[in-house]
Each structure stands twice: as C-alpha cells, then as structure tokens.
Amino acid sequence: MAITTIFDISQKALLNNQAAIDTTAKNIANVNTEGYKRRQVTNYNITGFGSANGQPGQDEFYRIRNVFVENRLRMEQDNLEKYETSQMVLENIESIIGEPSDSGLQNIMMEFWNAWNDLANDPENPAAKTVVKDKAVVMAHTFNRVYSDFRSLQEQIGYNINEKVDRVNQIISQIYNTNERLGSNSTSDLLDQRDILIDELSTLIDINVHEYENNGITISVGGQILVSDNYCSEIDADATYNNGFSDYKLSIGSNPNTVAINGGSLGALLEINNIHIPNYVEQLNTVAVSLANRVNQIHSLGYNSAGETGISFFSKNIQGANDFSVHEDILSDSTGIATAQSVGASGDNAIALAICDIQQERLIGGMTISDTYNSLVSEVGSQLRESTFMADSQALVMENLKNQRDAVSGVSLDEEMAKLIEYENAYQAASRLIQTANLMLETLLEVL
Amino acid sequence: MRITQSMITRNLLNYINNNRGSMNETQNSIASGKALQVASDDPVKFSMVSRYKESQMRNDQYLKNIVDGMGWVNTSAGNIEDFYEYAMTAKDIAYRVADDTLNDDDRQVLKDRLNKTIENVVGLANSKYLGKYLFSGTKTLEEPPFSYDGTEVSYNGNSSNISRRIADNIDVNINIAGTELIDTDIFSNMIALRDGIINNDQTQLSESIDELESSIERLMSISTSIGLLKNQFELARNRLEVSNTNLDSFISDLEDVDMAKAIAQYNAEEIAYQAALQTISNTLNMSLLNFLQ
Amino acid sequence: MSKENWIVNFQYGLPGFESLTSFSINNIPEYEPFCVFQSQEEPDVSMIIAEPEVIQLNLKNYIPSEIKKQLEITSDSELKLFIIFCFNNEKHLITANLKAPIVINSVLNIGQQVILDNPELNVNYQVVKGISE
C-alpha cells in the first residue's frame, strides 16, 4: 500500500472520527434541550471517499425518532392542555360561586327566609321589617355580583381566545415558512424546529398531522386544512352576543362554516365560554326569577300596616340575577312591607308565614329554590372534579409516552461518554497512524 | 427501555411536585378541621351536607319561634291564673252576700269590692305583652279589646289566631282570643252578681254562685289547653334539639378529620418530601460525566 | 359490642332523619370501643355510637317503662342502649347525647331514639371532662 494511501485512509479516519466526536459533543451539549433528537453518525465504508470534500453528507445524519410515539404524544398533548385549562377556569368559577361560605347565596337565602319568620313572630315591629329589607338587599347584591363575575370571567376568556387564535396563526405561518425552506434543504435542525412548532400548536388546538416521505406535511383541524407544503391559512374568531354573554365561532380562511375545535386549550376555552358559562348563568337566573316572582305574587296579596295591598316586594319584571333588586318603594320605606292577609289587624302574620313557606315549595321542575341552587353548585363541583381527575390521569399517560420517546430519541450521558472515549481512541489511533506515516515519509525523504 | 437523563429528572420532579400537592391538601384539612371543603372535593357528599345544614338552620329558626311563642303563652297562662283568682274572689263575695246576716252597709262594701273586681278583670283582659294585646286576636295594637260601660263588657278584638311555626309546615296557635274569655261568661256573671247585690235578689244571688262555678271551670279548661300547648312546645323543642344534635353527629363524621391521623400523615409526608430532594442531587451527581471529571 | 351484621329497625326513624328506618351497628377495629351506626337506606348517613358504660355512665334506669313496653322489652338482657357521639378535632369539644339514647330490643332487633325528660341528661354532654373525673 502506498504511503499516500495510508495518509488518505488516516485522514478519512480522522475526519470521520472528528465528525463523530463533534456529533457526540453536540449530543452531550444538548442533553437538556427539549425536543432535541439525538444525532447518530451512520457507519459508512472507511475506505470510501464519501462526498467531494471528504465530510460525511448531511443526509447521512438522521433523526432517530419513533414516529408512532411522536404522533401519540401530540394527540395526548392536546387532551392534557384541554383538561388542565378546563380545570383552571372551573376553579375560577367555583370561587365565583364561593360555597360554602357565610357570604354565599345558600346562607344568604336562608337568612332572608329566617328574617321573614322573625317578622312573622313580630309583625307589629317596624324594626323587623327593616331587617327583612336589609337581608333582601344583601341577597340582591350577591345575585348581582355573581352574575357580573361571570360576565367578567367570560370577557377574560374571550380575550384569551383571541390571543390564542393569534398565536395559532403565527405558528401556522412559521410552519409554512419552514416547509418552504425544507423543500430545498432538508436539515435535522429545521425538522426539529418544525416539530417544536407543531408540538406547541397541538397544545392549542386538536390538530391532525400527516407527514410525507419527503418531510412534507399537512396539518388540519376539524377536517379543514390549516397548512401544507403549498398552502397556508388562518383561523378567524367571531363573537356574537346574547344578553351580554359571548359565543365564539371559529372558522378557517374563506370557509364560512364553523370549524370544530375539540381539544387543546382553545377547545377548553370555547367549551366553557360557549356552553358551560351560559348554562350556569341560566340556572342562576332561574333561581333569581323564581324567587322574586313568587315572593311578589304572595306579597301583593297581603296588606301592610297602612292598609295598602297589591305591593311588590322585589322590582317588577326581573329577568335574571343581573337586575334582581328590592322594589324602590320598599327600599325607601320598609314599613310598606305587607304581612297580613286582611286589613285592620296588626298581629296578622299570615302573609309573612306564607312567604316563609316558599322555601319549601317545589317551584322549579319539582325542586325547591335552594335545591335548584345547590344543584348548580354541585354541577360546577362535579365538572371541576372531573377535569382535575382527567388532567391527572392524562399527565400520567404523557409521562409514559415521553419516557418511551426519550428512550429512543433522548441522550444518555453515559452512553455518549462511552462513545466519546471510543472515538477518542480511534482518533488517537488514526493520528498515530498519520504520525507513523509521517515518520516513514520523513525517514524516506531523509534517506533520499 | 433505556433510562435517559431527562426521564430521571422529570420523574423526580414529578415526584416532588406530587408530594407538594398532597401536603397542601393535608395542611388545609388541619387548618380548617374539615376534609370536605368545596363542592369539587366530593360533589355528592357536598350536596347532601348542604341539605342537612339547611335543615339545621331551619331547626334553629323553629327553636327561636318556640322560645318566642313560649314567652307569649307563659304570660297568657299567668294572666289566666289571675282571672281564676278574681273569679274566686267574686265567688267569695257571692257566698258572703248570700249570708242573710249582712246589713246594707256591708252589702255596699261588698258591692264596691265587686265593682273594683270587675274593673280589674277588664283591665287584666286588656293586658299587653311586649306592647301587644294578649287577648285581642290579631288586633294586637288597634285598641283595648275589652270595654266596660258599667252595664256590660264588650269585646272589640277579633277571633283570629296568632301562630308560630315550630316545624316544617307545622304552625301552632299561641293566643287565646278574647271571644274565649267572653264565652267563659266571667264578665257577665260578675255583673249579674253585682246586680243581684244591688237588687238584693236572693234567687239571682244563689244562681250567681253556680254560674261563677262554671266560669271557673271554663277558665280551668283554658288553663289546661295552655298546659297542653306548653307540652307541645316542649316536645317540639326537644325534638328539634335532638335533630340538630343528630345532624351534628352525622356531619362531623363526614367533615371532621381525625387529628392524630392527619398529623401523623402530614409528618410522614414532610419526611418523604425532604428525602425526595436528597435523591435528586445524588442522582445527578452520579452521572459518568462527574465521575470522569 | 355488636353482633355480626346487626340490623335494627326504627319504626319512627330518628329526629332529623325521619325517613330512615333501618340501621346497622358495626364494630370497626380501628374505632374500638366505638361502633358505626349506619343507615341502610342512605349509607352516607352514619354516626359514631357506643354503650354508655364506655364513658362510665349507666343510663338503664332512666328508660321509662312506657318505652320498654313499646319495644316489647320484658327483661334487662333484651335491652341494649347506645349513645350518639359528636366528634371534634378539639378533644374537649367531643360530646355525647345523653338526652336521647338509642334504645334497642336486641332480640326483636327493633329500636327507638328516645327523648328523656330528666334535666340532668345533657344533649351535649362533654365527654372528655367526664372521663377524667
């Protein structure tokens, strides 16, 4: 074998091992980088010449990934985000309702009925009427407050929905750009970047990802394409309002039909905003309206100490928890409260007792007023408990998948170090071979 | 499956985070003493506890109503006893007058005493309790229910009932309407006795004694019914107290935490948490990298 | 004490729980010497009970003969008494209901919660103080 050949071989070996050492160094440096896929140098024939400049080619590197696990991970990621987002928002709602607490509606409604009972024990006493009015005012404020807290929460959610839609659109266009660049030049780094973008996208909406052989990709949601190699669209969020509460409809590009988003944090926000909050508010409104109407109905049959009848206790035509209020006449003069079923008898408490009866009447679909309110509280509690449970379970599923993925793609320091030692030795060997060859050449030259 | 660095770290971090979570839960239950804090802890139990707590609040109101009602009833009972005393006084006078040995002056004295008694009885019938007429039906403020013009006693109240709620849908009447007092004929009989004295009508006088007897009997039966009312209140009160105590026992069983257990659990978790922290630093140190360095 | 799977019928339910007529009495080893008194109709309704002797009290003489007649109790051996406890994190707040014990005919397995009139029987008897005396 010619000396020069030995040189060539050695140089190749050096270069090869250098590349291997570089790769290992990169792997070690990226041990904690999220999304980094371990590079591995393919074995190629040491006697071959490789590419023109002697370096191993780009396409020799491949990203080791378990494609199946990656896709599963994505699907589960949008579920996890959905449950965690639901959990967070529902916790907000539970604290808006604020039970159990002395300032919660359950206790306040009870105090209202008890004030009427105290009045029934002492209908001649103006002070007892003042107490009834005061408790009613507290109750009205509580209804109003809960309603407006729901409104505020929904406004916040609307803001979040718009923010996330903007982010989705940003990501989509970045993916499209990456697709374009990948078309001409396929690198592991670009593919990793795109994967990171897709992972973030899957936390926001429940996407379907279809990959092609040439690293091409199509991403769709709700059956509509968002981005592909030669196509890029945008999500639009449109809000309509009903009694001050918003309903968000999302659509893609020029397609006017609503796109169904069922996962990711957007999926959770849309469901809570469009379905749950209006449902809770409607139940709250039902409680408020039933209470006000029934009290007014009985109260107007009664007589007050001035011998007047037909008086409303609460404002007329209350539509919900928002406008629930004590009638202005009662607010300005609580002695106007009616307690008697006929005129001229100060000790007549029949109407006051009849109003106490309301708490036991099955006014709303066979349920009492407090039953109905309690079932609202329970419903929120159940949905929160379910979201929490699902989020915890889902987190475990994600753990397992990530461990599986990392087993294939992740970096193990120990393994890399061992490889480094191996390459070092090979490098040393290769460089010694060159030294020997050098020495041989020198000797030869000296001889010559 | 290969164990990579990120797996080890993540699993340990999870372990620490999970420990933190449950320690908070235990801490909360010790602080408030209640394991069931919000509906989402256990929605079904929460709903049941809510219902029973409402029962307790209603029971407390009923107890309040009973105390209020008892005040009225006890005062009425005291007054009825005074009626009884006055009726006995009248009967005494009647016996005395029936004794022929009295002269005109004696009879005059007795007649004056009787007049006074009649006025007192009317005054008694117009008694107030907490500013309200006791024996006027529901016209508790309007005007004194009984008036005496010297000839007869008339009643201006009504016969309506004043009631107190002592249980779900159970109302009890606490008042004795003035009509009941009129019906005892105590007033008319006393007036008849006085007229008998004025007219020195022996027949009328001896009838009066019998009439007053039956008035007294009717007063006694009013007393008896008040006694029954008191019993009814007492029974209801006992039952409500026991209901509430039963509810306390049941709810405390659901909500309260076994302190010894809770503290032991907390301490165990505190130790586990610190151990987890130790483990993380050890594991990272043991990687080959450090070893080589 | 309790028998295996002891179920007792309460014709009138309990004050506050009038609709519940069937209860079980079970020994739970961790709760010794207390037992669990549990509704069969609504299993979540349960209370901690024990025989009065556990807190050094004897209530047998307080039970009116009227009640024994209603429960068809003819001899002392048929009579079983329990009192209901209300537990608390603060030991000195643990109470027992002496005013309304549970009276059972242990042969016929029927019972009542009887409200006693005696003023010295407290509905919220402070247990810990009692034991230390």
Residue A173 near residue A12 (C-beta atoms within 8 A): no
Partner residue opposite A344 with nearest CB, options B7, B46, B142: B142
Instruction: Spell out the residues 6+ positions from residue A302 whose beta carbon is closer than 8 angstroms to its own.
Output: A309, A311, A338, A339, A340, A341, A350, A351, A352, A354
Number of folded domains that form chain C: 1
Give the neighbours of chain C: at least 3 Cβ pairs within 8 Å: B
CB-based contact C97 B254, cutoff 8 Å: no
pLDDT at B290: 47
Give the neighbours of chain B: at least 3 Cβ pairs within 8 Å: A, C
Tens of pLDDT, residue by residue over B158-189, are 999 999 999 988 999 999 999 999 999 999 99
Residue A92 near residue A153 (C-beta atoms within 8 A): yes
Q: Compute the distance between CA of residue A173 and CA of residue A235 in angstroms, rounded to an integer.
A: 11
Tens of pLDDT, residue by residue over A109-141, are 999 999 999 999 999 999 999 999 999 999 999
Cis preceding-peptide flag for C33 (omega within 30 of 0): yes
Closest-CA residue to A175 (of A146, A141, A204, A152) = A204
Residue C1 lies in a domain: no
Instruction: Spell out the residues 6+ positions from residue A104 whose beta carbon is closer than 8 angstroms to its own.
Output: A97, A98, A142
CB-based contact C84 B246, cutoff 8 Å: yes
Partner residue opposite A382 with nearest CB, options B3, B43, B50: B43
Q: Compute the distance between CA of residue C45 and CA of residue A295 in angstroms, rounded to an integer.
A: 34
Contact list, B238 vs chain C (CB under 8 Å): 99-100, 115
From first to last of its 133 residues, chain C has per-residue pLDDT tens of: 456 789 999 999 999 899 999 999 988 766 767 888 999 998 888 888 889 988 778 899 999 999 999 999 999 999 999 999 887 666 667 788 999 999 999 999 999 999 998 888 988 888 766 443 3
Residue B160 near residue B137 (C-beta atoms within 8 A): yes
pLDDT band at B275 (very low <50, low <70, confident <90, very high): low
C-chain residue closest to B32, CA distance: C89
Side chain identity, residue A198: I
pLDDT band at A32 (very low <50, low <70, confident <90, very high): low
pLDDT exceeds cutoff 60 at A181? yes
Residue C108 lies in a domain: yes
Contact list, B289 vs chain A (CB under 8 Å): 28, 413, 417
Residue A32 near residue B5 (C-beta atoms within 8 A): yes
pLDDT at B280: 46
pLDDT band at A52 (very low <50, low <70, confident <90, very high): very low
Closest-CA residue to B119 (of B82, B145, B155, B153) = B153
pLDDT band at B262 (very low <50, low <70, confident <90, very high): very low
Q: Compute the distance between CA of residue C101 and CA of residue C78 in angstroms, rounded to an integer.
A: 16
Closest-CA residue to B12 (of B226, B279, B293, B216) = B279
Min Cα distance B161 → chain C (Å) is 28
CB-based contact A32 B5, cutoff 8 Å: yes
pLDDT exceeds cutoff 90 at A168? yes
What's the CA angle centered on C132, arms C126 and C133, to 5 degrees?
90
Side chain identity, residue B199: N
pLDDT exceeds cutoff 70 at B254? no
Q: What is the CATH number of the domain that holds C117?
A: 2.30.290.10
* Mean pLDDT, residues B120-135: 95
Task: Specify the higher pLDDT residue, A47 or C19.
Answer: C19
Q: Compute the distance between CA of residue A175 and CA of residue A220 in angstroms, rounded to an integer.
A: 13
Contact list, B241 vs chain C (CB under 8 Å): 99, 123
pLDDT band at B281 (very low <50, low <70, confident <90, very high): very low
Tens of pLDDT, residue by residue over A209-223, are 888 877 788 999 999
CB-based contact B3 A412, cutoff 8 Å: yes
Mutate to test the interface with B, among C45, C88, C93 (most CBs of B within 10 A): C45
Q: Domain span at residue C13?
A: 6-129
Closest-CA residue to A174 (of A219, A223, A212) = A219
Phi, psi of A206 (to 5 degrees): -90, 90
Closest-CA residue to B162 (of B59, B73, B62) = B73
| Residue in the structure block whose two tokens are 């009932």 | B161
Task: Specify the higher pLDDT residue, A294 or A1.
Answer: A294
Q: Compute the distance between CA of residue B122 and CA of residue A194 in angstroms, rounded to an integer.
A: 101
Residue C39 lies in a domain: yes
Radius of gyration of chain A (CA): 37
Q: Compute the distance between CA of residue B231 and CA of residue B74 in angstroms, rounded to an integer.
A: 12
Beta-carbon pairs below 8 A across chains A and B: 155
pLDDT exceeds cutoff 80 at B229? yes
Radius of gyration of chain B (CA): 39
CB-based contact C88 B238, cutoff 8 Å: no
Tens of pLDDT, residue by residue over B61-94, are 999 999 999 999 999 999 999 999 999 999 888 8
Residue C92 lies in a domain: yes
Task: Specify the higher pLDDT residue, B271 or A317.
Answer: A317
Q: Compute the distance between CA of residue A259 and CA of residue A226 in angstroms, rounded to an integer.
A: 11
pLDDT at A433: 65
Q: Compute the distance between CA of residue A317 and CA of residue A289 in angstroms, rounded to an integer.
A: 9
What is the ipTM for the molecules in this complex?
A: 0.88
The one-character DSSP state at C55 is: G
3-class DSSP state of A79: helix
Closest-CA residue to A57 (of A182, A181, A185) = A185
Task: Specify the higher pLDDT residue, A202 or B281.
Answer: A202
Q: At what angle are helices B5-32 and A369-409 packed, to 10 degrees?
A: 160
Min Cα distance B169 → chain A (Å) is 7
pLDDT at B2: 60
pLDDT at A227: 93
Q: Which of residues 3-62 of A touch B (CB under 8 A)?
A: 28, 31-32
pLDDT at B108: 87
pLDDT at A442: 65
pLDDT exceeds cutoff 50 at A56? no
Q: Compute the distance between CA of residue A180 and CA of residue A241 in angstroms, rounded to an integer.
A: 40
Min Cα distance C86 → chain B (Å) is 4
CB-based contact B137 A388, cutoff 8 Å: no
pLDDT exceeds cutoff 60 at A309? yes
Residue C48 lies in a domain: yes
* Mean pLDDT, residues A354-358: 96
C-chain residue closest to B168, CA distance: C16
Residue B285 near residue A413 (C-beta atoms within 8 A): no
* Mean pLDDT, residues B31-43: 71
pLDDT at A49: 35
pLDDT exceeds cutoff 90 at A252? yes
User: What count of other Cβ atoms lies within 10 Å of the Cβ of residue A281?
Assistant: 22
pLDDT band at B132 (very low <50, low <70, confident <90, very high): very high
CB-based contact C99 B259, cutoff 8 Å: no
Q: Which of residues 318-357 of A touch B (CB under 8 A)?
A: 340, 344-349, 353, 356-357
Q: Compute the distance between CA of residue C25 and CA of residue C6 in angstroms, rounded to an integer.
A: 5
pLDDT exceeds cutoff 60 at B140? yes
pLDDT at A147: 97
The one-character DSSP state at A367 is: B
Token couple for C122: 């407290």
B-chain residue closest to C16, CA distance: B243
The DSSP-derived string for B164-219 is EEEETTEEEE----HHHHHHTTHHHHHHHHHHHHHHT-HHHHHHHHHHHHHHHHHH
Contact list, B243 vs chain C (CB under 8 Å): 15-16
3-class DSSP state of C97: strand
CB-based contact C85 B241, cutoff 8 Å: no
Min Cα distance B60 → chain C (Å) is 12
Hey, is the C-beta of B32 within 8 angstroms of any chain C C-beta? Answer: no
CB-based contact A345 B6, cutoff 8 Å: no
Partner residue opposite B43 with nearest CB, options A100, A121, A381: A381
Residue C111 lies in a domain: yes
Say which range, A187-196, A304-313, A365-374, B279-288, has the weakest mean pLDDT: B279-288
Residue C60 near residue C81 (C-beta atoms within 8 A): yes
pLDDT at C129: 61
Given phi > 0 = left and psi -120 to 50 = alpha, else beta, which region is A343? beta
Task: Specify the higher pLDDT residue, A415 or A108.
Answer: A108
Put simply, whether the predicted model's pTM sits higher than 0.90 gets the answer no
| Residue in the structure block whose two tokens are 């009989």 | B189
* Mean pLDDT, residues A169-190: 85
Token couple for B47: 């709903």
Hey, is the C-beta of A375 within 8 angstroms of any chain B C-beta? Answer: yes
